[in-house]
Chain A
């Protein structure tokens, strides 16, 4: 009897290709992208060259796409060179959303992964969430589907590897070409600007993403991503990223856009507005003045 039950369990496991309940992978804890560990001064320690090398940024762009990207990259490099010479970059609008695939490739935000049989949920500290349905369903029907920064994801398990299929992704911010999804590599720079961000690909709204996420050792996960976009790429683009468990943290800590309006221009320069003093149980002080002009109570 016991042998029959064991055989039945094995058959059920293999038939669904799901790990048995007691074998669901232990992906608990908080995760961060290796190389994007933040420092207390707001930086990370990974040079742009390292980023390009480690992330295998070599998209097989179509020649006409590459020609446009070269123009964009030239403008970006020019901007950084100007910042190296002391120019202040233009103010940018508030955007709290990284979106997919940036949350998996380049984001400094930590995240949790909650795998269950029916669905795996990835929760990022910026309050972005990816829902990956593994209950055997198909993608959302076309007449019910619209593009979002996180796309439409379904998946299945191959042993302890989660395979995710994502479509209907759009860029989180409205730009000059909102129909395109820019893939941007960035890393540390040597000049005053201190970083470099270069657009390496511009995907179409038809881009299709396949990820294979697995634990490579006790403390590391790997995401092997393939991007398929016949409109803009000559062949599938393969990338990989490694994640490690976050140190010092045993719970989710949130990011948000609170205090977005504290960059006034004073004397021709951007400045800062420190948040009001605030303690639990008391309302914040009713003031927000530029630094050095604080009227917060002493």
Chain B
């Protein structure tokens, strides 16, 4: 897999040291060394700047629904890859591969790729199978 540069309005923290900054905010909250797979139902597809979010309801080990917040890149970047505001709708069944938040007590992560009602969702190249959820 090509190395993927995380920078879509990203955190370009090194630029602080360099006396500059080109970023909206950091992706530092996501653990880039872990990939987790979640399955659930779309609650809301929040198409907004600077980043888009998929709100998805996922059943935990006790069978209770938990709301996960999955952060994507910006609408401008997403439309260039083929995404639209209507790509996902509430009620859609989806499977997502994500980099989870470092703080495991909070349900959220960074979108990598996944599968929606109509098949694969546009994203990064499929990673190695992650931990099941």
Contacts and interface: CB of A to CB of B under 8 A. Distances in A.
Interface string B64-81: 001111011111111111
Interface in B77-133: 77-83, 101-103, 105-108, 110-113, 121-124
Interface residues of B, number: 71
Given A253-B75, A260-B25, A266-B106, A38 B81 contact: yes
B4 A291 contact: no
B48 A278 contact: yes
30 contacts: A38-B81, A39-B77, A40-B72, A40-B78, A40-B83, A41-B73, A42-B9, A42-B27, A44-B7, A72-B17, A89-B28, A92-B11, A92-B13, A171-B20, A172-B20, A173-B22, A175-B21, A176-B19, A182-B18, A182-B20, A192-B32, A248-B81, A253-B79, A259-B50, A263-B26, A276-B46, A277-B44, A291-B107, A292-B105, A292-B106
The 10 closest A-B pairs by CB, nearest first: A175-B19, A89-B13, A291-B108, A188-B3, A42-B73, A42-B8, A291-B69, A38-B77, A43-B4, A270-B29
A109 B18 contact: no
Contact of A40 (B18, B20, B77): B77
Given A173-B20, A192-B32, A270-B29, A197 B15 contact: yes
A121 to B, nearest CB: 19
A271 B27 CA distance: 9
Contacts, number: 280
Interface residues of A, number: 89
A179 B79 CA distance: 37
A235 interface: no
Contact of B48 (A102, A110, A275): A275
